[in-house]
Amino acid sequence: MQVEIGLQPKQCELLDLIEKSKATVIGEGGGRGAAKSSGADRVAIALMLNQPDCLCCMVMRNADQVLRYHIEPIGRDFPWVDERKDCFFKRSWPAKLTIRKAELDFSYGEDYDSIERRFRSANYRYIFIDQAEQFTEREIREIRKACRSKGKHKAKLILLFNMRGANIFTLRKWFRDKEVNKDEDPEDYTFLKVNPWDNVEWVRNSLEKEGLLDSDYYAWTDEQRMEYASKYGDYTRQLATDDEAIRAADWYGGWDAIEGAYFAASFDLERTRASSLLVSSAGRPWATHWTSQDWGKAHFCVTYWHYRVTLKPSEVGELLGWSGRVGPLNLTMTYREMICNEKTEQEVAKLILECTPEAERKRCTAYFLSPECVTDDPNSIGDKQGQVLRMGGMVYPAKADNDRKGGATLMDGLLRATKNGGYVVGDDGKRIEATDIWMISAECVELLKAIPMAMRDPKNLDDILKTDKSTAKLEQDVLEAARYGLKSMLSPRKQSSEERAEEEFLKTKDQSQRMMMLFRKEMGKMKKRFTSMPPSWRANIR
C-alpha cells in the first residue's frame, strides 16, 4: 500500500539533516505557525518508513499538548495508520504508533522528576522535543541521555521551538553562539530557521482562487512568499501586523527578539514550577486562599486559585531545599488554572464551584475580578457570578487592583526572589533574605508558558506590552488574571472612600439595604454638588 507523507520544503530539509548531517542535536526554530509540530509528525513517520527498525519518541511538556498537537493530528492527517495491517495506533496512554517494527512513542514530562523517571532507562534513535523552549537545560540533557542507537544510523535529538519561552536563552547559546559544555563539540549542534510563510497551508485558499499550486508558491523567493503571506493569509496577516515587539518574535522569529522579554532576568522555570507534592505539602490548613479572574466571553476567561503561607526557616529547607535561612519566608502559590470561553457569567461561576472542593470554598477569603465587571449595576458580570458563587459557599467578587505597572513590578520582584532561592540584592549590593516568593504549580501550564512570553512595552519599559487588537491572545489574558490575584492581595493600592463604599454595597445581600445605600450615594452626590456652588447660588436655592 503506497502512502503519501506530503513534506513541505523546510520539512524535507529537516529530514535530510536528521538522516545525513553529522550533527546530533538539531534545532528547528523561528516564527509561529511554521508547521513545526505537523512537520515533526511527518518527518518521524518518514523515518519510520525509511528505517523499519527505528525507535522514535515525541515529547511535550504535558499530556494534553501531546494529544492535541500530535496524536489527534496524526489520526486526522494519516487515516491509513488505521487501515494498514502492519500499523497499530494506540491513542490512550502509553500512546504509541507502530509501522511494521518501527515505533513512535508519545511522552511528556511536567517536571525534572517525571522526565528522569520516564527517560532514565529509555533507548531511542530519534527524540523530538516539541516546544523545547518550555524545558530547562537540565531536563533536555536528561532526555538526551535516552537518545542512543547501535548500527549505521546515528542517534539524534531534535528540538522544535518558538522564539519566546522559558529556556530560549539556552537554545540561543547552543545554536547561535555555539556555546556548549567544554567537552562538547560545537559542530554537534546545527540549526534550521523556519518562518510562518514557509507553511503553504495559511495561504492555500488564496492560491486556489488564483489557480496557483503549491509548487508555484515554493518557486517564489523567500521575500515574495513573505509578502504574499502577510497580505493573503488570515493567520499570517495577524502575525505580520502585530505590535513591533511581538512581531519580531512571532513573525520574523529572530534571535534578538527575546531581548524584549519582560521577565527575562527574573524567571527561572525550575525554581518557580512547583510539583503537586510541594503544592499539597506547603498548603497548610491556616494558609490564606483567594481566587482571581480576567473575564472574557469571546476572548479567554482565565481563573487562578492562590494561597499564601508563612514558612519557618526549617520548613524552607525541608520543602524547598534552600538551606541557611534565618528568617521566615512568605510563599505565594498559584496552584490551579481554569481557562474557558464562550461561557455565560453563571456558567463560569458554576465551573469555579466545580473546580473548588467544598472544604476549600470556606477558606477562600477573596475573589478578584476584572475591574470593569464589578459595578453597582445589579446586572453586572460580577453580580451575576456572585449570586451563583454565594449560593455555593464562596465569596462575592471584588474589583481587582488594575495598577498594571505596579502589578508587573510586583510579579518581577517575586520571581526574582524565587530565582535567587529566597534572596534579593540590597541597595548596598549585598544579598539579603527576601520576605516573599511566588511559585506556580506545574498544573498551571498556560501561566508557566505565558510568563517568559511577556514582552516589554517599548513605549513604557516598566509595563508589559498589551495589544488592543480584536484577536484573543491567551498569554495576555493569563498574565492579567495572575496579576489581578497577586497585586490585589499582596500589594493593593489604597482604596478611595467611594471604592470602599462600592465594595461594601456589593457585599450586601439584602436588597432593601442595597436600595438605601444607593439612596445615600445619590444624596451624597447632591450634597457635594450643592456645597461646590457659589454662596449666592446656595442662598437662592434655599
Contact 108, 60 (CB under 8 A): yes
SS3 510: coil
Per-residue pLDDT of the chain (542 residues; tens, 9 = 90+): 566 788 999 999 999 999 999 999 999 999 999 999 999 999 999 999 999 899 999 999 989 999 999 999 999 999 999 888 889 999 999 999 999 999 999 999 988 889 999 998 899 999 999 999 999 999 999 999 999 887 788 999 999 999 888 788 899 999 999 999 988 999 999 999 999 999 999 999 999 999 999 999 999 999 999 999 999 999 999 999 988 878 888 899 988 876 678 898 899 988 999 999 999 999 999 999 999 999 988 789 999 999 999 999 999 999 999 988 999 999 999 999 999 988 999 999 999 999 999 999 999 999 999 999 998 888 899 999 999 999 999 999 999 999 999 999 999 999 999 999 999 887 777 889 999 999 999 999 999 989 988 888 777 777 887 765 545 578 889 999 999 999 999 988 665 566 566 666 656 666 677 677 777 777 766 665 555 555 555 555 54
Which fold would CATH assign to domain 269-490?
Nucleotidyltransferase; domain 5 (3.30.420)
User: Residue 284 phi/psi, 5° resolution?
Assistant: -65, 155
Decide: pTM greater than 0.85.
Answer: no
Angle, alpha carbons 471-348-397 (nearest 5°): 100
What DSSP letter does each residue of 412-470 carry, written as one string?
HHHHHHHHTTSEEE-TTS-EEE-SEEEEEETT-HHHHHHHHH-BEETTEEEEE----SS
Q: Which residue has the cell 531511542?
A: 124
State the DSSP H helix or E strand holding residue 155, giving kind and residue range, or none if neither: none
Where are the strands (E) in 238-343, listed by range? 273-274, 288-294, 301-311, 329-340
At the second CATH level, the architecture of 9-194 is 3-Layer(aba) Sandwich (3.40)
pLDDT score of 525: 64
Residues in contact with 164: Cβ distance below 8 Å, sequence separation at least 6, in sequence order: 133, 249, 250, 257, 258, 261, 452, 453, 455
Cell numbers at 384, concatenated: 451575576
Q: Which residue has the cell 476567561?
A: 301
SS3 323: coil
Sign of CA dihedral 37, 38, 39, 45: positive
The amino acid that residue 473 corresponds to is K
Contact 22, 187 (CB under 8 A): yes
SS3 398: strand
pLDDT score of 472: 56
Beta-bridged to residue 171, according to DSSP, are: none
pLDDT score of 463: 80
Dihedral Cα 245, 250, 252, 257, nearest 10 deg: 40
- Which residue, among 43, 37, 35, 59, has the nearest Cα to 135 in the 3D structure? 59
pLDDT score of 439: 98
- Which residue, among 444, 406, 408, 436, has the nearest Cα to 420 in the 3D structure? 436
Where are the strands (E) in 39-155, listed by range? 55-60, 87-90, 96-99, 102-108, 126-130
Q: Which residue has the cell 528568617?
A: 327
pLDDT score of 121: 87
* Spans of all domains in the chain: 9-194, 201-257, 269-490, 510-541
